[in-house]
Structure 1
Amino acid sequence: MDKINLLIIVTVISLFISLFLAFFLVTVKTKHKISNSLFAVFLLLNVIDSINPILELVVNNPSNLGMLRNTFAFLQIPVFYLYVLSVCYSDFKLRLKYIIHLLPFLIVNLVLLPRFYAVDLASKISFLKNRQNMIELQFTHILFHIQIVIYIIAVFMILRKAKKLYLENHAGKSVNSYNWLFQFTVVLTILYLITLVKNIFKFSDYPNISEGVKIGLILFQLIIICWYLFKALNNPDLFRNIDSKLKLVKDIISEEKNSEQLAENEKEYDSALLKLKQYMIDEKPFLNPSLTILDVSTAIEIPVRDLSLLINHKLEQHFYDFVNTYRIEYAMDILKDITKSKVTVLEILYEVGFNSKSSFNTAFKKYTGNTPTAYRKEL
């Protein structure tokens, strides 16, 4: 099978699956409609970008519509950026200010206007044949890769902040979601790096290598999209967003007016800490797998801001780790209880407030140095 036929087959399979998944995302009933719609748009933009091998079978000459289709690649990474925002923050809404993400797309099309869009067919053909010497195309590719670098960095910063906010304010299983979305972004970054290599060869003396890399890119893109959606669709509660108005503890501390205010707060923290620990022991709120710092704040009547400073700053623990400490100690008590020797580790983890075996094992080993099973055997 020659390279062209293989490219067509891989492209057709990729397009079919991407379109099917995009259709599913926009039609499935869910409360995460914006996130699903944004990822569906991301899929469709990838379809538009990948369809070129099929179009070349029926369209021989360059056209304005064909060039416009190529420039839609400038919308892919901004849409993915907005998708990550929508996943991380529960109060995300599509706002007018996000139009600024269209800027690179608009700039590129304005640059191409004089010597491509506004000329006849012969000039268009000449423009593309001499692509290596056309400053507009060189500018387009440079801008595309600069855009990718900026947005990928921005996505990693969002994920890093969102994970910290989650750890400081929540004690559920969703922290694993941020780790997984981080992994997906890493894979996507690798995909764009391969695209960069392809484009370097495209403007070199070895354009055939570029075509070979293109086949691998389409196949790789298909695999990671299926991987992502398989994970997301099999775990409908994978991502539980947080409020974007929440502040990191380090930012709260920096907002304190002066050291005297901090010193005054320190005195209040001692009594608040006793109240908090007594509440955790008496009421056992940690048994709630979806416990948040707001829940605790409401119960013990301490403002969320003060409670966050108390746990994350004074105790030097994330709320996530603080709650898991009580869960692990409760699990240890059950494991030590001879009358409960037939209770399985899986039953115990659900009983103490965990809802994931992996997160329970990780937390237990972090606290005790052993897995739950090994700990029970040593008793």
Structure 2
Amino acid sequence: MDIDSFLSVMGRMSVFVSLLLAFFLFTVKTQNKLANRLFASYLLFFVVDDIGIFISEAFIKDYLNLEFFRWTTCALTLPVFYLYIISVCFADFRLRTKHLLHAIPFVFINAVFISKIYFLNDVDKMQFYEQRSQMPEFYFLQLMLALQIILYSIGVFLVLKKYKEIYRENYTNPKTSIFKWLFQISTVFFSLYYLSIAKNILRFTDFEVLWIWANVIMQFLALLVTCWFVLKALNHPELFRGIDSKLQLTRDILPKENESAVEIKEHQNDLITAQILALKKYMTEKEPFLDPSLTIQELSNQIDIPVRDLSILINHHMDQHFFDFVNEYRIQKAMIILKNPLKKDLTVLEILYEVGFNSKSSFNTSFKKYTNLTPTAYRNAS
């Protein structure tokens, strides 16, 4: 089997897996319809790009305008992926008219192609296709796609950064898995996209053999990543839940809250001290942290402190994220149980559930961060 045939086989496999997953995402009954449909759309745009590997030359010659249009659809792939990331992070995300702005590069490229390519005669179109690597329009397309990769990679990781900060200030277990998953898939995807930039540079050089092998490697990696995503999505359906994007970070609230801070500084300090003491007393006596899904909104309702004030109290005045604040009480409770000879028969798994965790990895990470020991080592150290 020659390299072209091998590429064609891998391309067909990748297209088949992507179409299968896209069909599943479009038809599955779930509350996360928007996120699923956005990722299904991303997969379809990926398929449109990928079929170029095995489309016959005869078909391309008969439908050159369709082939040129296929090139331009690449400009929609990353905007759809970006919107997918937002929709998974934030459960209240909805598509708005303003999101059509992401289609501007696609529209602009097609406008250039209409004026320069689409209305050429068949001979000139074929000449353009065969010599596309030397054509300025093709250079422009590749440059714009590379710029998109850079800008959207920055945009995606800024969204993930915001999600992580909001989550840590307002939630506890178990949604960190969503951030880890989205960070993983974004890192993998954009690694492939940056490799594709390097691969496309080879297109405009004399290293034809290197260009061919780069295509083989990229196609293999694309197939591998697609299969990985399928397995991950099927095994971890909980990864597709979001948080409320309207929640504000403490640093965004503070300027408004502190406008008259100079005038009431002493009174405010006394109030803050009293609120901190009341909060700590409530956490110790009522143990709300035993609820594994405790949020700052729920704790606010229980202790009768406005959620904005409670967020500032914990995240600013106590200098802790809500996530760490709650888990500290859980760890302290776990430490007492681990040292209790009457509960020596309890397994670590049973203890972590008892104190409010529902993930062994999260419990071990938090416990070691707080004590510098694993739960088992801490128990045996007595």
Does 1:212 pair with 2:213? yes
Match of 1:266 in 2: 269
Match of 1:111 in 2: 112
Instruction: Give the distance between the partners of 2:300 and 2:7, measured in 1 at CA.
Output: 58
Match of 2:249 in 1: 248
Q: 3-state SS of the aligned residue for 2:278? A: helix
Instruction: Give the distance between the partners of 2:358 and 2:29, measured in 1 at CA.
Output: 25
Q: 3-state SS of the aligned residue for 1:171? A: coil
Q: 3-state SS of the aligned residue for 1:229? A: helix
Q: 3-state SS of the aligned residue for 2:237? A: coil
CA contact (8 A) 2:283 2:289 kept: yes
Compute the TM-score of the two structures, normalised by the length of structure 1: 0.96
Match of 2:290 in 1: 287
Match of 1:70 in 2: 71
The count of corresponding residues between Structure 1 and Structure 2 is 379
Matched letter for residue 296 of structure 1: L
Q: CA RMSD in A?
A: 1.5
Alignment gaps of 5+ in structure 1:
none
Does 1:138 pair with 2:136? no
- Shift of residue 132, structure 1, vs aligned partner: 3.5
CA contact (8 A) 2:349 2:360 kept: yes
Alignment of 1:69-218 (within 5 A): 69-218=70-219
Instruction: Give the distance between the partners of 1:5 and 1:126, measured in 2 at CA.
Output: 25
Matched letter for residue 130 of structure 1: Q
Matched letter for residue 259 of structure 2: K
Match of 2:53 in 1: 53
Cα deviations across residues 240-278 of structure 1 (Å, max 9, x unaligned)? 311111111111123332542683543321111122112
Compute the TM-score of the two structures, normalised by the length of structure 2: 0.96
- Residues 321 and 335 of structure 1, relative CA distance in 2, 3 Å threshold: same
- Shift of residue 43, structure 1, vs aligned partner: 0.8
Instruction: Give the distance between the partners of 2:376 and 2:58, measured in 1 at CA.
Output: 63
- Residues 122 and 262 of structure 1, relative CA distance in 2, 3 Å threshold: farther
- Shift of residue 233, structure 1, vs aligned partner: 2.4
Match of 2:341 in 1: 338
Instruction: Give the distance between the partners of 2:93 and 2:263, measured in 1 at CA.
Output: 34
Does 1:297 pair with 2:300? yes
Matched letter for residue 304 of structure 1: V
- Residues 296 and 281 of structure 1, relative CA distance in 2, 3 Å threshold: same
Cα deviations across residues 123-154 of structure 1 (Å, max 9, x unaligned)? 11111233243211111111111111111100
Match of 2:259 in 1: 257
Structure 1 outlier segments of 4+, above 3 Å: none
Matched letter for residue 152 of structure 1: S
Match of 2:4 in 1: 4
- Shift of residue 77, structure 1, vs aligned partner: 0.5
Matched letter for residue 21 of structure 1: L
Instruction: Give the distance between the partners of 2:79 and 2:286, measured in 1 at CA.
Output: 46
- Shift of residue 210, structure 1, vs aligned partner: 2.2
Instruction: Give the distance between the partners of 2:349 and 2:24, measured in 1 at CA.
Output: 34
Q: 3-state SS of the aligned residue for 1:8? A: helix
Alignment of 1:298-377 (within 5 A): 298-377=301-380
Report percent identity of matched pairs: 45
- Shift of residue 194, structure 1, vs aligned partner: 1.3
CA contact (8 A) 2:60 2:67 kept: no
CA contact (8 A) 1:174 1:239 kept: no
